[in-house]
Structure formats: C-alpha cells, structure tokens
C-alpha cells in the first residue's frame, strides 16, 4: 500500500479513519476568506461563507458554486437547528440569526443587558434546542470582515441561548479569542478553540474541553485538550467515535478523545473550518483561505442524540 502524501500519520489509530486512495479535491476557489461550511442532506448542498466578500455560497455536486445570499452581513459560522433551519453568526449585525423555511431572517441574539455582542463567530445547537456560540472580537477589529467598532461586552465568551426563555447566558469566558466549538457525541463535553495566537504570537493556540453540567445548562472543569502546532485552531467537528477534527494552518488535525494527535490531512492553504457531509456523512468539506476542498474519510460525522 503506497503512502499518500495528503496524510500525516502520528498514531496508528489514524489509519482506521482515512481512505488511503482518497484525494483532496478542490471544489471551488475564488473566496477571500472561506469559512463556516454546513451540509444540507435534504437539499443535497453545502453552504459556506466568503466573509470579506459578503457572500454565502452554495455548492452542489455536479452543479458548482452559486450565490446563496449576498450581502451576507459578513456571515461566518453556520449550523442547523433541530428542525433543520440554518443558524448563522453574522459579524456585520453582531448577531446570531435563524433563516426560516420561507427565507425570512429571525434575530436570535444580538445583545445582552443592552450591550451589543462583539461579533459571533461559530455556533452549535444542543439536542435540547439551546444555541451555543462564540463571541470573539475578530469581526469588529477592522472593516475587512465586518464593521470596525469597540467591544461592549466585558469578556469574549461562549454564550448559551435558552430555547424556552430566549435568555442569553455566559457559559465560559476564560479565553483570549473563543472560536470554533463542538459537542462530543454524547454531549457530555464541549470543545472550544481559543485562536488568540492569530494576532498575538505568545497567546493561546489550543482547544479547551469542558464538562457539560446541570443538564446542559452550564460548563465546568475547563482544561486544555490539545495544542495546535501549526497556526491556530478555528472551526472543528467531532466524528461518530468522538475524535476531534480541527482546523490548523497546515491542514486538518485529528485528535483522539484523550487529546492524542492521531494524524493530519495536509491542505495547501490555511484551514478555517470543516464539516462532515454527503449522503453518508463520510465526506469532509474543508474551507481554507480562498478555496473549498473535500476528502472522503473512513468515518462519519457525529449524529448527536
């Protein structure tokens, strides 16, 4: 079996997770900063953001890429809620929105105690319907990925939007720049990337893990799960076995649930985010600087309870 230079194996367990003959495919190029991939199995398409170009793009197998929404209000990370609706972070409006089935946009969160959020970056939905998102300052640092403005919140936090009351609560705030986030398959853990080193070299470039407590209403025991050795962690996803697939400067890094680096998928541009998709959920879609890539894997994205 010949080695495939797209894979870097750090632990033998990685061999069970990739397909040796699978190649990295560039599906599209032409973004300024591609981010936020989210798969719609029912529609057979992938949506992703091109943040500085104010676009959400749609990729269809065999049909290429078209514009889904423009202007996008500098949309960044996306996910889907329990009903399958698109939930998006927008730098421009400093808010998290939901796109209804009829296409109208509902604001889920844009301020707390009268103060605006910084610039919501990435988002996940818990099986109880609560919406969890990160709120770093990237989208208000300049006019490139949003509108330059001052921070109003006291900290850069992970927030939880309660599905019943609509109230917004800080779940954790011990970050320089909270970024990608993902639950473990059993939702007992939440992983959060701190990409602070993107603008301050000595700052964190690690993934933290928290225990999810109080029936999904709080976090405890935050600790470092893994440190990224090339660049910073941005978006990430978890597979069915609980392995954590993180973005990094040299590609996608795959960590076992115990934090061991299993291996890497090397990508020629800086990776911002990723999502499992395709009809079998075994295809990894990767946004990386100007391009959208994909590669088939030997695992599948987590199907949470």
Where on the chain is the footprint of Mg ion (CB under 5 A)? 121-122, 179, 234
Give the nearest distance from C-beta 41 to Mg ion in angstroms: 23
Give the nearest distance from C-beta 138 to Mg ion in angstroms: 8
- Asked if residues 217 and 224 have their Cβ atoms less than 8 Å apart, the reply is no
Give the nearest distance from C-beta 234 to Mg ion in angstroms: 4
> Cβ closer to Mg ion: 28 or 133?
133
> Cβ closer to Mg ion: 135 or 234?
234
**Beta pairing partners, 111:** 116
Give the nearest distance from C-beta 76 to Mg ion in angstroms: 6
> Cβ closer to Mg ion: 124 or 212?
124
> Cβ closer to Mg ion: 247 or 282?
247
Give the nearest distance from C-beta 2 to Mg ion in angstroms: 35
Can you read off the two tokens belonging to residue 54?
């104010």
> Cβ closer to Mg ion: 77 or 263?
77
Q: Exposure string (b/e) for 140-153, b if CB count within 10 Å is 16 or more?
A: bbeeebbbeeebeb
Place of tokens 């603008």: 199
């Amino acid at each position: 079996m010949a080695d495939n230079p797209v894979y870097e194996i750090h632990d033998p367990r990685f061999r069970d997770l990739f397909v040796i003959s699978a190649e990295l495919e560039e599906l599209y190029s032409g973004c300024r900063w591609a981010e936020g991939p989210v798969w719609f199995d029912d529609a057979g398409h992938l949506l992703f953001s091109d943040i500085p170009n104010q676009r959400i793009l749609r990729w269809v197998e065999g049909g290429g890429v078209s514009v889904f929404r423009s202007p996008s209000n500098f949309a960044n990370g996306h996910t889907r809620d329990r009903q399958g609706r698109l939930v998006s972070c927008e730098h421009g409006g400093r808010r998290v929105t939901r796109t209804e089935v009829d296409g109208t946009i509902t604001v889920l969160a844009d301020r707390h105690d009268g103060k605006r959020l910084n610039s919501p970056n990435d988002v996940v939905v818990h099986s109880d319907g609560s919406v969890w998102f990160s709120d770093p300052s990237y989208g208000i640092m300049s006019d490139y990925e949003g509108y330059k403005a001052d921070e109003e919140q006291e900290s850069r936090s992970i927030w939880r939007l309660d599905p019943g009351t609509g109230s917004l609560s800080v779940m954790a705030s011990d970050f320089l720049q909270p970024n990608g986030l993902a639950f473990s398959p059993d939702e007992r853990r939440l992983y959060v990337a701190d990409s602070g080193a993107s603008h301050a070299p000595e700052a964190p470039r690690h993934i933290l893990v928290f225990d999810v407590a109080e029936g999904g209403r709080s976090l405890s025991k935050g600790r470092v799960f893994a440190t990224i050795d090339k660049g910073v962690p941005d978006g990430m996803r978890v597979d069915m076995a609980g392995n954590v697939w993180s973005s990094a400067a040299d590609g996608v890094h795959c960590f076992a649930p115990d934090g061991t680096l299993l291996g890497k998928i090397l990508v020629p541009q800086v990776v911002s985010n990723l999502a499992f998709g395709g009809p079998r959920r075994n295809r990894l879609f990767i946004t990386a600087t100007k391009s959208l890539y994909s590669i088939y894997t030997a695992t599948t994205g987590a199907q949470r309870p």
